[in-house]
Amino acid sequence: MKLICLNVALFETNNKLLSEFFARQNADILCLQEVSDKIDASANVQYVSKNAIDEATSNLQYSYFGQTWSIKEFHLKNFHKKDSFDYDFGGFIKAGNYLKSRFAIVEKKNVFVTKNHRIEVEPKDWALWPQDQVKAVLVADLKLPSDKKLRILNYHGVWTREKLGNAETLAACKQILKLAKAVNYPTIIAGDFNLFPDTPSMKIFYDDFVSLIDTYNIQTTRPNSNELSNLKRNVVDFVLVSKDIKVNNFEVPNLEVSDHLPLILDFEI
């Protein structure tokens, strides 16, 4: 089976790149972050990625969109190499984590892991950001053809500039770990955690789950254009697997389809 994890980038007009990439890959499971869909008819379709993803992956008939927020504007100073990071989407769009699967989804839930469960974010709210973020983990149980079950957790983590984490990231990761260990069948945790591998928040997973980023000595999950690309290791995206999963291969190809690189797992149960 092939699983792909990718942050598809809310602020990039990269639908064509995404569509071509997913059509080539023929994956069985997609764990995607920052996927967006229209709320207002006036919203700019260039920033709506869900339709392009669905058209390219029509063979994946099961899906679950876990909304984390809705937004029509974003304004921030000194962010992602820009003095002024300003976007107007032309109307409200909703964004969140998205799972697509060749296998039936038998249980699903969208679990908020930060104190803020607000969905709609108004322009005035950016004065509170990044201290006041809305984050959730999508949890889905899949039924495989062998009648075995597989739990998938798809997460987009709390943003911090230094990627070192804080009390909020630690609490979120503890909650995700609890959800991952709540079942006795194979489990995969995937997503953009916005954390470096050696942070206390990430280390809590390593007793129970295998970090493929470390097993395969991955040095970056961001393209060269990223503001932290000068670091020796620029890893913020992860695939962690329970120890009962057989990993055939794992790679992070240098394909600039987003502002994150795709993580590609070949595995079996």
Write down the pLDDT at residue 130: 66
- Do β-strands 2-7 and 263-268 pair in parallel, antiparallel, or remain unpaired? antiparallel
Decide if pLDDT at 66 tops 80: yes
Please indicate whether residue 205 or residue 71 has the higher confidence score (pLDDT): 205
Q: Which of 121, 64, 72 is nearest to 92 (CA)?
A: 72
Domain ranges (residues) in the chain: 2-268
Q: Which residue has the tokens 């039924």?
A: 143
Would you state the pLDDT for residue 129? 64
pLDDT in tens, 76-105: 777 776 777 788 999 999 999 999 999 999
Residue scoring higher pLDDT (79 or 228): 228
129: left (phi over 0), alpha (psi -120 to 50) or beta: beta
For residue 9, the SS3 value is: coil
Asked if residue 4 lies in contact with residue 31, where contact means CB atoms within 8 angstroms, the answer is yes
Of residues 134 and 205, the one with the higher pLDDT is 205
Whether the per-residue pLDDT at 131 is higher than 80: the answer is no
Q: What is the pTM of this model?
A: 0.95
* pLDDT value for 32: 98
Q: Which CATH class is domain 2-268?
A: alpha beta
Pairing outcome for strands 209-211 and 187-192: unpaired
